[in-house]
Structure 1
Amino acid sequence: MANVPEFDLDRIGAGLPFAASLDALRDALTRGVAVVQAPPGTGKTTLAPPLVANHVAGAGRVIVTQPRRVAVRAAARRLAQLSGTTLGERVGYAVRGDARTSASTLVEFVTPGLLVRRLLADPELTGVAAVVLDEVHERSLDSDLLVGMLADVRELRDDLALVAMSATLDAPTFADVLGRDDGVAPLVDCPSALHPLTLDWAPFDAPRTDARGVTRDFLDHVARVAVDAARTSDDDALVFLPGVREVSHVADAVRRALPDRDLLELHGRVDAREQDRITAGRGPDEPRRVIVSTAIAESSLTVPGVRLVIDAGLAREPRRDAARGMAGLVTVACSRASAEQRAGRAARLGPGRVVRCYDERTFARMPEHVTPEISTADLTSAALTLAAWGTPGGVGLRLPTAPPAAALRAANESLTALGALDGSDDGRLTPLGRTLAGLPTDPRLGRALLVAGEGVDVCRAAGVVAALSDDLRANDADLARALRELSGPTRARWSKERDRLTRLAEHRPSEPERDAPPVPGECADGFVVALAYPERVARRVTDGVYLLASGTRAALPPNSPLRHHEWLAVAAAARADGRVAQGTGAVVRLAAPLTRELAERAASHLLVDEVRATWDDGRVTARRVQALGAIEFSATPTKPTPEAARAAVHEALHRHGLDLLTWSDEATALRRRLAFLHHHLGEPWPAMDDTSLLDRADEWLGPELDALARGAKASSVRLLDPLRRLLPWPEATRLDDLAPERFEVPSGSRIRVSYPEDPADPPVVAVKLQEGFGLDETPRLADGRAPVLFHLLSPAGRPLAITDDLASFWAGPYAGVRADMRGRYPKHPWPEDPTTHVATAKTNNRLGSQR
C-alpha cells in the first residue's frame, strides 16, 4: 500500500469545527494513542478517520467503529462522498450480513461486535494500522471490551495507532485506561459549535412509565407536543423515544395530525434503504419531515436539516434480573448528558429549539452519564469473549469499568451449562466454546443453532434463532403463530437473517448427539428455544402458571393458546404486576410447546437425583428429590446428609439473618458491649453487626450449627456462650474495666450500664439523683474514649435530667431541679451543695437514723 494518495482534509473538513483540532490530533498521534473529546456535530467522525489514514499512510487499513449498523453505513457513505470516491473503494464498511469494501479500502467502518470477533480470530489485527473507537461515551458492552482488548494489542504492537472518541465529558476516563507507564493518553478537545438554542418544557402531570413500560397517555402527550411544535416550525423535526413500539405509536399519531409532512421512523428495524434515505437529508422540493427516532440519532448518527427536537427524556437500557434469572431491556430516564446531546441536534445548522416533555425537576434527578452496559447487562456473551481472549473475568484487562462479580459468576455458570466452558476455576474454553466465540450471535443462540441441527431442520432452527435475536414478541406469547404472521419489512428482515444463519450453521461444526431421534414438528421450535435457554424450560403448576427450571414462576397471557400444554420452552419473560401475572410477578412474552423428554434432553445438566435439605418451622427437614432444576418430579421425606443439613442451616441464616436464633437479654447485652468496644477501640475487639457475625458463623457458632443440622430447633440454641468464643485474649481480661456490666455509684448501688443498639451512641446509667451526690466527674469508658450518659431520676424513678457532664449539671441546672423537687419530695435530701452531701437512696429520716 505504498504511495497511497492522501485524503484531502481541507476539502473534507470545510465548515466543520473539528478542522481546528486536526493539528492537535496529529501531535497526539506521535505517541500512538489519543482520546478525542468533541460534541456531536463538530465533525470528528468525518475528519478524524481520514487524518489517521494519512498519518499511517501505506502501513495498513484504518478501522473505525460505530455503535450501530445504520451509523456505520451513514458515516462511510458521507466520508466517501466528501472525499469524492465511490463507496467501497477508499472508504468502505462492514456490518453483519452486509459489506462494501475492496482491496483499495483505506478506511473501513464497522460495528464494535464485528471488530471483537476479528480480534478473537486475529489478535494481531494483521493488515490494520490504526483503530478509531467512536462514540465510546455510549458505554456499550462491546465498545468497553474493545478498549481493554486494544490496549492489550498495543502492548505487543507499538505500531498500532489507537484513537478513542467521546461526545461527552467522560473522555478523561478513557485517557487514563489507554495510557501507559508514561502517563495518560493525550486528550484532544474541540469546543461545541452549537448555534443559539431555545429550551422549552412541556411537562406531563402523571407517571411516564408503569409496570408494562411507557404509558399510552404519555405517548399521546409526546405526540401532541410534537404536532404543536412542528406546526410552528419551517424546519425538520426530530422526536426522541426509547423504543420501537413507542416510535410506532407516536409516528402514527403525528402522521394523522400532520398529513402534509413526510413522517419517518428511524430505528434498528427499519430497512437499510429507508435508513439511508433519512440520513441523506431532504431534497429542496420535498416536504418538511418529522423523524421519530430511538436513541440511534442521539450522537452516532447525523440527521440533516433538523432544527427542532422533541425529547421524551427516556432511554432503553439492558438490565439483568438476578432474582428471576432474566435479562432484557427496560425503560429508564435518560442521562443528563444524553438529554444535552439530543437538544444539541437542533442547533447544528442555525438557531434551534428543543421541547422537553418533562420538567426541570425531572431533569435534575436524571443520572449525569449513561450507565455502563457492563454494570447492568447479562454478561454471558462478554464472559465468553473474555475467556476466548485469555483474560477470564477480565482479570488483567484494562477495562473502563470492571464487570460486577455476581453477574460474571452467573454468566460463567450459564456458559458452563451451555458446554462453552469446562467448569474449571480458570474458566477454560471447550471446543464448542471456541466455536461459539467466533459466531456473530449470542452464545446461547449460537449453541441452539449448532446443536438443534441434530434433530431439527437447520433452516427451521435458524428461523427460530433469527426471531429470538430480533427480540420478537407476541401478545399471546405463541412463538409459532408470531412466526407465521410475520409480514412486510419485518418478515423480510427475519428471512434475510434466517438465511444468513442457515449458511453459518451449514459451514460450522456442530455438537453431535449420537443417535439423536428427530424432534416432533410441534415441538421443534420449543426444542431450539430450550437449547438456547435451558434454565427456562417450564412445567405447568396451575392453569396458565408455569414453574421454570430456574425457580421463577411466570404466567401466560389470558388469551394464549399455549395454556393447554404441560411443558413449554420460554424464550422471553418479563417482570409484570397485576392480573396478567396471576400473582407470579412475571409474564411469559414468548414461548413454544415442549415435552418432558425434550426438556430433559435440552437441559440434561439440570437433571438431579439428590437429597435437598431445607429450613422449615425452626428446624432442618429433608427430601429425596428427582428434578429438572427447580421442577420436581418426585420428593420423598428422608434424613438429610450432614453436608446438606449444614448447608440448609447456613442458607437459612443468610436468608433470615441472626433473628433466626433466640437472643436472650444476657446475650444481647454482651453483644452490645463488644460492639461498643469495637467501635471505640477497633481490633482485636470483634465487630458485632449481622454481616460480620454471619461471615464468622463457623468460628463462633460451630457446635450450635452442628446441633441445628442434626435436627435441634432454633429456639434451643443459647447464644451467650457462643459469643464469648469471640472474646480476644488476653485483652478479654479487661472487658469489665473497659465496658462494665454495672457501675458503682457513690451510694454503693451497682447500677446496670445500658449499651445502646448503635455502638456510636453513649452507654447509659439510669440512677436516682440522690445516689449520685459527690460524683463530680463523669466516668468515661473504653479507656476514656466514651463518657457515660446519666439519666438522673426522681425518688419515684421518673426522669429529671440527662447529662454527660455531671460537674456542669451540679453547678447549674441542679438548682432548678432542686427548687422544683424539694416541695414534691420533702422527705428526700436536696442539699444546696450536692458534691459534698452523702449519696443515698434513703429518705432524710432513715439517713439521719443511721448517723
Structure 2
Amino acid sequence: MPLPIETLLPDLRDALRVHAAVVLQAPPGAGKTTLVPLALLHEPWLVGRKILVLEPRRLAARAAARRMAQLLGENVGETVGYRVRLQTVVGPNTRIEVVTEGILTRLLQDDPALEEVGIILFDEFHERSLQADLGLALARQSQQVLRPDLRLLVMSATLDADPIAVLLANGSEKAPLLTSEGRSYPVETLYLPREDHDRIEKQVVRAVAVALREHPGDALVFLPGAAEIRRVATHLAELGNTSWEVYPLYGDLSPEMQDRALAPAGNGSRKVVLATSIAETSLTIEGIRVVVDSGLSRVPRFNPRTGLSRLETVRVSQASATQRQGRAGRTAPGWCYRLWTEAAHAGLAPFNAPEILQADLAPLALELAVWGIRDPGELAWLDAPPAGTFAQARALLHSLDTLDAAGKVTSHGQQMATLGLPPRLAHLVLRGKEIGQTALACHLAGLLLERDPLRAPQPELLDIDLGIRLEALAATAKGRAPSQWAGMQADRGALARAWEQAQHLARQLGERRLVPDPDPAAAGLLLAFAYPDRIAQRLGQPTQATSTERYRLRSGPTAQLTGHQSLGRAEFLVAAHLDGRGNAARIFLAAEITKQELYTHFKEEIERAEAVRWDAAAGVVRAQATERLGALVLQEKPLAQTGEVAVREALLDGIRQTGLQVLPWDDGTEHLRARLGFMRQVVGDPWPDVSDAALATHLDDWLGPFLVGMQRLDDLRRLDLAEALLSPLAWTQRQELDRMAPSHLVVPSGSRRPLDYSNPAAPVLAVRLQEVFGMLETPRIADGRVPLMMHLLSPAGRPVQVTQDLHSFWRTTYFDVRKDLRGRYPKHHWPDDPLAATPTARAKRRGT
C-alpha cells in the first residue's frame, strides 16, 4: 500500500529546487523518515554531495538507515549509512548519512561550511531537543554566511510548523510549508481512566490483558522509565500466559536487545513491547496493532538555583500522545488505549516543552563558545536560551577552565568539545590525563555516561560508593561481567556499555590499550575536577544511631546519605549524582576525597582569612585563622594575638544575636532606664532613646567602650551597666536628670520613697497614707510639668486609693477610706483632720 507521503514528494522536490529551506508536516506513519531522503537522492542540486538525516535517538537512526538500505536492496554502509556515538557504519559510496544530534554538531564544528553536504533533514523536530535546536541554529547561520546553496528541511508529525517557517524565512518570505494528510491506517482510540488507588503498573497490565484479548496483533506499551518496565514485565509474567513474549525497549539497552524488540515475534507467539518515549517516533515495530499508553514520561528538569538536574515523571503532551497513538497504525488498522479520560486529554499541553527552556545549558554554552559566540542572540532560535540559565552555564565553564577571562574558549575548552562529552566529564577526562590517571578517568566517565549499573531492592540498601562500581567494571573488562556485586544486582549490559565507552575515550586520548583495572584511589579527586561545586564535607561526627549522614556542599546547600553507607564515615566526598532538592538533596553516587588532595589540587581556590567571630553555641568570641574552600571549612586554628577592637565588635555581635536580656539588668538599672525613657518622652531630644530597638542599633556607642577585656557572655557580669546607660549624657544632663526625674521623693513623714517610671506618662509614688498627712497638693516633677500618680497604701502596703488630685482626696474620698481603715486597723491613728495631723512612718501609734 502506498505511503501517504509519496503523493507529496513531487511538490517537495519542486520546493527544494527553488528554496533553501522547507518545512514538512506529516502525520506518524506517513513515511517521511525513509522515503524523503531516497526521493531527494538524485536531485541535480545534490550532485557530488551528501544528505544528512538528523534523528534524535540512536535506535531511530539505526532503524531508519536499515530500512532505507532495505528499500534500495543494499546493506547498511553502502548508499545509506549511519553515525551514532561509538558506532559508525558508512562507506566510500555513502550518500545518505543518518546521524544523531551530537554528531551533527560535531560535523558543523569541524567544517562550518559542510562542503560535502547538500541538505540537512531535521527529522522529528517536534521533540525540540536541545541539540536539535542548536544544530538548526548553527546550520542556519552556516547557510546564511557560508553556504547559501545548503538546503535545510525540517520535518515533524506534530508541530506548530508556522513559527519554523518564519524562522527559516528568506527575507520577508516565509519558508514553504508542505503538509501530508492522513496516516497509513486508521487507529481507534479508547479511554480507560486510571484508578487513583492503584499503581500505574497494575493498571497497565490490566489494559494489556484486555487489549490482547479483544484485538489481534502485537502490543506496544508506553511507560515512563526502565523501573516501571521491569515491574510491568514481572506482573505480565505472573499472569502465566505463554502466548505472549515480553520485550523491553529503552535507551540503556544494548543495540542487540533493542533490535530484538523491533523484530517480528517468532513461533506464532504475540509480542508485547514495553517501551519508554524512545519508541514514540521514527520507528516501525513489526506486528504492532495495539498501543497501551500510560500517559507518562520521564524528563530531566534543571534547577538553576541549585545547579542540579533531576528526573521528573510528567504527563505527556497532546503531540506526544498523537505520536504514540500513531505507532498502532503503521502496518494495519490499530487500537490505542489511553489510561486517562477524554476530558483529561483536552487539558494536556498541546506540545512538548522545548528542552532548551528547562535543561542544563552548559553543553550548549560550550558549543557556542567553540563556534565563536558569546551572546546566543547572534543566532536565530525558535526559543532563545533563558538568560539566567545561560549565564550560570558560562559560569560553570569558567570554573572548568573552558573560558578565559574575556569569555573566549580556551585551548582546553577546544579539546573538551572534541570529545563529544558533557563539559564536566570532558574536563574530568582531560585533567585525569594531565595527572597520569587516564585509565581511571576513562573508566569513571564510562560509568557516569550510563545509568547506575547497580540496583538494590530498597533504595536504602544501595551503596553509593563509585569505587564499588569501578571494581565491577574492572571485572567486566576482564571478561567476568557480574550479575551480582557487593550484595547488589548488577546490570551486565550497563557495565558492558560503560567499558565500551571507556575504551572509546581512551582511543580518543591516544591510548592504544586501556588498563582494565586502574587503582580507584584517585576517583574522588577526578570527580572533584568534574564537580568542583559538589565537593562535600560531613557535618558533625559519624554516628551509628541514625542511618542518615548530612554533608555540606562546597556551593552551600546540604545533602544527605541515606542507609548505612560505606562512605558515611568519610570526612570529604564528591557527589556525582544528586536529586536537585536543595537542602534536602539526596546523594546517589559519590567517591571519597582526602583533605590532602584538596590542598594539593585546589590550593589556588582555598581562601585563607583571619576572623574574630562570635560562637553562639559556646557564648564566647573566637579568634581563628580559617581556610575555606567555598562553604567548606578545611581548617581552623586559634590566633595567637587578636586586636582589641575586633574582639569587642564580635562580642557586640554576640549580644545582638542573643538579645539585650543577656546584659546584667537589675532593679537599679531598669529604674535608671525608665527615668531616661521618661526624660525622652517629656523633653525629647537631645535625651537618648533607650528602647530595645534603639539600644540594639547603637550598641557600639553606649556599650562598646565598657567591654574592654571581655570576650564571653559570663564576663558581662562585671559590666557597670548603669554607667554605660548614662555615658551618652553630658554632665549638665546628669544633673538635670536628678532634678527633673528624681529617683526618690522625701514625703512629709521624712521617709525617702522611690518613684516608679515604668509608665513614663504617669510616674508613680507609692506611699502609706499616714506618711502624707498634712500634704495638701499632689507632688510634681519635671519642673512641675508632670503630676505624680499617687498610690496611697494601707498599713499593710495595699493600695486604698490611686489619685493625681491629693487635695480633692482629702476633702472627699478620705472619709470613706478612713471608715474602712478604722475597722480593719483599729490600733492605727486615723484623724478627723488629716491636713492638721502629724505624718508618721510608724505602723502604730506610740504606746500601743
Correspondence for 1:278: 261
- What whole-Å deviation, never above 9, does each CA across 1:340-371 have from its counterpart, x for those lacking one? 21112223333321112233444333221111
- What whole-Å deviation, never above 9, does each CA across 1:460-491 have from its counterpart, x for those lacking one? 22111111111326522122223423453222
Alignment of 1:301-312 (within 5 A): 301-312=283-294
Matched letter for residue 335 of structure 2: R
What SS does the corresponding residue of 1:539 show, helix, strand or coil?
A: strand
**Equivalent pair of 1:66/1:72 in contact (CA under 8 Å):** yes
Offset, 1:412? 0.4
Correspondence for 2:745: none
Correspondence for 2:752: none
- The alignment-based identity, stated in percent, is 36
Correspondence for 2:674: none
Pick one of 384, 387, 394 that aligns with 1:402.
384
Offset, 1:278? 2.7
Pick one of 445, 450, 459 that aligns with 1:470.
450
**Equivalent pair of 1:531/1:603 in contact (CA under 8 Å):** no
Pick one of 416, 436, 457 that aligns with 1:436.
416
Q: Distance between the aligned counterparts of 1:31 and 1:229, measured in 2? A: 47
**Equivalent pair of 2:440/2:520 in contact (CA under 8 Å):** no
Pick one of 26, 48, 52 that aligns with 1:38.
26
**Equivalent pair of 2:450/2:497 in contact (CA under 8 Å):** no
Offset, 1:100? 1.1
Correspondence for 2:111: 122
Matched, 1:608 2:595: no
**Equivalent pair of 1:135/1:167 in contact (CA under 8 Å):** yes
Correspondence for 2:737: none
Pick one of 301, 308, 314 that aligns with 1:319.
301
Correspondence for 1:446: 426
Correspondence for 2:51: 62
**Equivalent pair of 1:622/1:638 in contact (CA under 8 Å):** no
- What whole-Å deviation, never above 9, does each CA across 1:660-715 have from its counterpart, x for those lacking one? xxxxxxxxxxxxxxxxxxxxxxxxxxxxxxxxxxxxxxxxxxxxxxxx9xx9589x
What SS does the corresponding residue of 1:546 show, helix, strand or coil?
A: strand
Correspondence for 1:165: 155
Structure-2 change in CA distance of 1:610 and 1:88 (3 Å): same
Correspondence for 1:193: 183
Pick one of 40, 64, 70 that aligns with 1:52.
40
Q: Distance between the aligned counterparts of 1:380 and 1:601, measured in 2? A: 27
Matched letter for residue 248 of structure 1: R
Matched letter for residue 39 of structure 1: P
Structure-2 change in CA distance of 1:459 and 1:227 (3 Å): farther
Correspondence for 2:501: 497
Offset, 1:220? 2.7
Structure-2 change in CA distance of 1:523 and 1:206 (3 Å): farther
Q: Distance between the aligned counterparts of 2:102 and 2:371, measured in 1? A: 14
Correspondence for 1:506: 510
Q: TM-score when scaled to structure 2? A: 0.67
**Equivalent pair of 2:300/2:310 in contact (CA under 8 Å):** yes
Matched, 1:370 2:352: yes
What SS does the corresponding residue of 1:301 show, helix, strand or coil?
A: coil
Matched, 1:131 2:120: yes
- What whole-Å deviation, never above 9, does each CA across 1:220-265 have from its counterpart, x for those lacking one? 3223322332233321100001222222221222233233212111
Correspondence for 1:585: 584
Offset, 1:322? 2.3
**Equivalent pair of 1:613/1:640 in contact (CA under 8 Å):** no
Matched letter for residue 497 of structure 2: R
Alignment of 1:519-558 (within 5 A): 521=519, 523-542=521-540, 543=542, 544-558=549-563
Offset, 1:54? 1.9
Matched letter for residue 510 of structure 2: E
Q: Distance between the aligned counterparts of 1:400 and 1:316, measured in 2? A: 24
- What whole-Å deviation, never above 9, does each CA across 1:158-215 have from its counterpart, x for those lacking one? 22111111111322222111222142111111112254433222333338xxxxxxxx
- What whole-Å deviation, never above 9, does each CA across 1:361-394 have from its counterpart, x for those lacking one? 4433322111111100101111000111122241
What SS does the corresponding residue of 1:453 show, helix, strand or coil?
A: helix
Correspondence for 2:808: none
Alignment of 1:315-394 (within 5 A): 315-394=297-376
Correspondence for 1:802: none
Q: Distance between the aligned counterparts of 2:97 and 2:51, measured in 1? A: 6
- What whole-Å deviation, never above 9, does each CA across 1:715-736 have from its counterpart, x for those lacking one? x9xxxxxxxxxxxxxxxxxxxx
Q: Distance between the aligned counterparts of 1:435 and 1:550, measured in 2? A: 27
**Equivalent pair of 1:523/1:592 in contact (CA under 8 Å):** no
Q: Distance between the aligned counterparts of 1:159 and 1:551, measured in 2? A: 52
Correspondence for 1:782: none
Structure-2 change in CA distance of 1:606 and 1:168 (3 Å): farther
Pick one of 195, 200, 207 that aligns with 1:218.
200
Q: TM-score when scaled to structure 1? A: 0.67
Correspondence for 1:664: none
**Equivalent pair of 1:554/1:586 in contact (CA under 8 Å):** yes
Q: Show structure 1 runs of 5+ residues with no match.
A: 1-13, 208-215, 509-518, 577-582, 646-707, 717-851
Q: Distance between the aligned counterparts of 1:247 and 1:114, measured in 2? A: 29
Correspondence for 1:25: 12
Correspondence for 1:113: 102
Moved more, 592-601 or 374-383: 592-601
Correspondence for 1:767: none
What SS does the corresponding residue of 1:105 show, helix, strand or coil?
A: coil
Q: Distance between the aligned counterparts of 2:579 and 2:115, measured in 1? A: 43
What SS does the corresponding residue of 1:563 show, helix, strand or coil?
A: coil
Q: Distance between the aligned counterparts of 2:607 and 2:453, measured in 1? A: 32
Q: Distance between the aligned counterparts of 1:255 and 1:571, measured in 2? A: 36
What SS does the corresponding residue of 1:86 show, helix, strand or coil?
A: coil
**Equivalent pair of 1:41/1:348 in contact (CA under 8 Å):** yes
Q: Show structure 2 runs of 5+ residues with no match.
A: 455-461, 473-484, 543-548, 617-621, 651-692, 702-848
Asked which structure has the greater CA Rg, the reply is 2
Matched letter for residue 431 of structure 1: S
Correspondence for 1:488: 492
Give the RMSD, CA atoms, in angstroms. 3.2
Correspondence for 1:815: none
Q: Distance between the aligned counterparts of 2:612 and 2:317, measured in 1? A: 46
Q: Distance between the aligned counterparts of 1:148 and 1:457, measured in 2? A: 37
Q: Distance between the aligned counterparts of 1:439 and 1:639, measured in 2? A: 57
What SS does the corresponding residue of 2:452 show, helix, strand or coil?
A: coil
**Corresponding residue pairs, total:** 607
